[in-house]
Chain A
Amino acid sequence: NAGVIQTPRHKVTGKGQEATLWCEPISGHSAVFWYRQTIVQGLEFLTYFRNQAPIDDSGMPKERFSAQMPNQSHSTLKIQSTQPQDSAVYLCASSLRTGAYEQYFGPGTRLTVL
């Protein structure tokens, strides 16, 4: 069990560029979550998939952020026209099923927008 895999581990973009972050959940886990962590705001919920279907994206900034889960083995978080305030560690987590209380986190992608 390799755990949740996130790539890349570090990404640097220029202001206005696009960034795509990848997450591979633990095999067999049906729930996938995306979070963003900064020193100021802490760990914030962004969006959630269950069996690949988007369930709750209430934490997502609406204009430039989007997330997809095209198959059960990976999810992507795309940020268009990145801004310096998007700089953060983006964490992906998965859980065995919707009702499971333990979420397993990936190592995160540190995004730096210059």
Chain B
Amino acid sequence: GQGVEQPDNLMSVEGTFARVNCTYSTSGFNGLSWYQQREGHAPVFLSYVVLDGLKDSGHFSTFLSRSNGYSYLLLTELQIKDSASYLCAVRMPNYNVLYFGSGTKLTVEP
């Protein structure tokens, strides 16, 4: 199978930052996407990276290291409403199918 791993839970404090990690070991790679999913709702697209390095998109930034099979999503200036699950997904070549990690539940405390 395709291995995409994420920690189950992460806690952080309002106004600080949180880094959500994702490691992958897949038979192919055509980019990595991050999605946010609130309880009872559908995943919502946040970011897509295919080149190594840090991609700064303001509140959300993403980092990718293809040689290490590693990515993270960095959320800065956290707000309580950032509490949600964050899923990473490896995009496969050929047909661009996504293989998701199990998601990290981020809890932002006051």
Residues on A facing B (Cβ under 8 Å)? 4, 31, 33, 35, 41-45, 48, 50, 55-56, 91, 95, 98-108
Please list the residues of chain B having a beta carbon within 8 angstroms of any beta carbon in chain A. 31, 33, 41-45, 48, 87, 89, 91, 95-103
Bound-state Cα–Cα, A91 to B41, Å: 10
A contact residues around B91 at 8 Å (CB): 101
The answer to whether residues A101 and B44 also contact, given A42-B101, A43-B103 and a CB cut-off of 8 A, is no
The A interface is mostly helix, strand or loop, or mixed, namely: strand
User: Within the complex, which residue of B43, B87, B98 is in contact with A45, where a contact is CB–CB below 8 Å?
Assistant: B98
Given contacts A95-B96, A105-B42, A107-B42, 20 further A-B contacts (CB under 8 A): A33-B98, A41-B102, A42-B101, A43-B89, A43-B102, A43-B103, A44-B100, A45-B98, A50-B95, A55-B95, A56-B97, A91-B42, A99-B96, A102-B33, A102-B45, A103-B33, A104-B45, A105-B44, A107-B41, A108-B42
